[in-house]
Amino acid sequence: MSEEEKKEVAEEIPVEENQQEAKAAEDDAPSAEELLNARVKELEEELASVKDKALRDAADTENYRKRLRQEKENAVKYANESIIRDLLDPLDNFSRAIEASEKTNDFETMKQGVVMVQDQLVNILRRNWGLEQFSPEGMPFDPAKMEACMMQESPDVDTETVSQVFMKGYILNGKVIRPAKVVVVKPKKDN
């Protein structure tokens, strides 16, 4: 073999080895398509996870809404439970008064019993619920708290004054819930 041939063979061997090494490295390394497929798979898994979380969050929100709706319905349904419970004793006492009235003709004792039940009822409503009653007889007329059912003139008064109360008024925690129905005496106009 000539020198030149030897050089060519020597040069070819490293090239072939380099090509083989490159090809082996190429075979071991994932192709661009494989890399893209792997990334797509990874993103699909992430998307599925996000969708699952979104569905769970939506279900939790819906359950929360249902629970709130149920709690609101129960609050409305049983809102008066406490006041009703407070009124049961006076109600029972009224029943006892009715039973007693059937057994006796002692109207004075019956009247005292009914007055006691009324006082019990008024005290419960005042103490537990903030209800105040007022009877403004002899007081100056206040249209914010009173409703004039009749008007009379009198030379004996200088300002409009309540002379008679037809129905007591009621204030609940500072708010008039029923004005007193009254007769008002106003100063007589000189003709």
Mean pLDDT lowest among 26-35, 45-54, 156-165: 26-35
Domains, the chain, with CATH or none: 133-191 (2.30.22.10)
Residues 52-96 have pLDDT tens digits of 999 999 999 999 999 999 999 999 888 889 999 999 999 999 888
122 Cβ partners below 8 Å, 6+ apart? Answer: 133
- Residue 3 is predicted with a pLDDT of 67
| C-alpha span between 110 and 93 (Å, rounded) | 12
Tokens representing 61? 């929100």
- Residue 12 is predicted with a pLDDT of 55
